[in-house]
């Protein structure tokens, strides 16, 4: 316990008694952060966002930011002995995350809603609230590191536990935001966090982690998309990349790049979705090798590297480690400028790349350091479709 408290003090790096807003989702991680900071001697204020209110979420274990989780956060704050506020952000969350999620699928993209939530509601809107409350910093339960480099500028770094590291989901965190944020769990593994919760007598010590997409309690995100964007149910053709029409489908929102199951076509070889054409409602399929991506372009970029901008780094042909999915290791690549857009050119073909997803960039000379990234706008295949 004492080591965890000292680690929390080191992560905050502010005089004891400083006011810290703790973002409390109702889960074990954010609750432990609030408890550790309070025990460490900070003036902690807990804030919970109500992001949605699906009736099913009240009974679903592993949801977040609704129903039972808000109740758990309130009880935890009472147990810890800190003030606690619940803010109704449903409309902001719907506009910034849920509607964007549905629009992305309708446009043939594969969204990552957790990143949108961190980028907008949590690390933009909630930070403003923390400042309004007179806080010197805001702390969260994310497993990611924060350090100050030799040049005096803040860096984002991977957490000590690679299985919990969330740097991929936080690539869009700006330097100004990073200056204000604190991440006390960077040096702890999850079993240790649960152990701290149990030692502090917090009833959420054994609470399951959040699972799947938080605003889809049933796990069936297509039902949500159908309700929000029924035009995605328009039928179309399933076409082989060589031009053959193999069948039909009942809606392009049923498909994502790399999908193999549920195609309902058979040509004697395994087929995968290699391209989606929402304007023609065509689903293009092909062999696995057609999924290999040679390069991609980035949109909505963020840069935390030493160069002034990501464009400057791309113009200089900077080497990077590019991570296109949270569950995959980064791959060697270089940055380049293509018609004014930042592109990532892989040393070898990369699988699992889809427009709409994120590409997080790390420093090859210091692989634990996050350099930034962007959302994938387009891809160029090794085998042209």
CA distance 57 to 218: 8
Identify the helix (H) or strand (E) that includes residue 67: none
In the sheet that holds 137-139, the strands lie side by side as 84-88, 43-50, 19-23, 137-139, 181-182
Beta-carbon count within 10 A of 150 CB: 5
Helix axis angle for 99-106 and 221-228, nearest 10°, is 90
CA distance 14 to 32: 19
65 assigned to active site: no
Catalytic one among 64, 65, 114, 214?
A: 214
CA separation for the pair 192, 36 (Å, rounded):
13
Give the E-state strand segments of the chain in sequence order: 19-23, 43-50, 84-88, 137-139, 144-148, 154-158, 181-182, 236-240, 245-249, 272-277, 282-286, 293-303, 319-323, 331-338, 341-350, 358-363, 366-381
End-to-end C-alpha distance for the chain, whole angstroms: 56
DSSP 8-class letter at 56: G
Copy the structure tokens of residue 76: 């935890």
Q: 64, 65, 114, 117: which is the annotated catalytic residue?
A: 117
Structure tokens that stand for 308 in this block: 């002034």
Q: How many angstroms separate the CA atoms of 204 and 69, rounded?
A: 10
- Any catalytic annotation for residue 117? yes
Which residues form the catalytic set?
117, 214
């Amino acid at each position: 316990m004492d080591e965890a408290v000292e680690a929390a003090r080191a992560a905050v790096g502010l005089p004891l008694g400083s006011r810290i807003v703790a973002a409390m989702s109702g889960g074990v991680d954010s609750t432990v952060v609030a408890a550790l900071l309070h025990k460490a001697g900070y003036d902690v204020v807990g804030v919970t966002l109500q992001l949605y209110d699906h009736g099913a979420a009240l009974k679903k274990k592993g949801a977040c930011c609704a129903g039972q989780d808000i109740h758990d956060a309130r009880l935890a704050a009472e147990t810890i002995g800190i003030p606690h506020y619940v803010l109704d952000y449903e409309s902001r969350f719907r506009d910034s995350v849920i509607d964007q999620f549905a629009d992305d699928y309708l446009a043939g993209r594969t969204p990552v809603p957790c990143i949108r939530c961190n980028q907008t509601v949590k690390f933009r809107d909630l930070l403003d609230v923390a400042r309004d409350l007179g806080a010197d910093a805001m702390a969260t339960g994310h497993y990611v590191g924060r350090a100050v480099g030799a040049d005096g500028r803040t860096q984002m770094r991977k957490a000590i536990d690679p299985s919990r590291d969330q740097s991929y989901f936080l690539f869009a965190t700006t330097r100004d935001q990073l200056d204000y944020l604190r991440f006390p769990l960077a040096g702890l593994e999850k079993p240790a966090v649960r152990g701290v919760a149990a030692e502090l007598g917090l009833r959420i010590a054994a609470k399951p982690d959040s699972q799947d997409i938080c605003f889809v309690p049933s796990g069936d995100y297509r039902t949500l998309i159908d309700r929000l964007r029924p035009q995605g149910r328009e039928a179309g053709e399933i076409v082989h990349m060589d031009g053959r029409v193999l069948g039909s489908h009942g809606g392009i929102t049923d498909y994502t790049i790399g999908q193999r199951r549920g195609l309902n076509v058979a040509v004697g070889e395994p087929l995968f979705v290699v391209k989606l054409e929402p304007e023609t409602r065509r689903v293009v399929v092909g062999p696995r090798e057609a999924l290999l991506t040679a390069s991609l372009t980035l949109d909505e970029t963020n840069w935390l590297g030493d160069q002034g901008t990501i464009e400057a780094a791309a113009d200089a042909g900077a080497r990077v480690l590019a991570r296109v999915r949270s569950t995959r290791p980064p791959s060697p690549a270089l940055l380049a400028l293509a018609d004014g857009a930042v592109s990532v050119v892989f040393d070898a073909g990369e699988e699992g790349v889809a427009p709409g997803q994120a590409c997080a960039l790390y420093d090859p000379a210091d692989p634990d350091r996050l350099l930034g990234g962007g959302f994938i706008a387009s891809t160029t295949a090794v085998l042209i479709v």
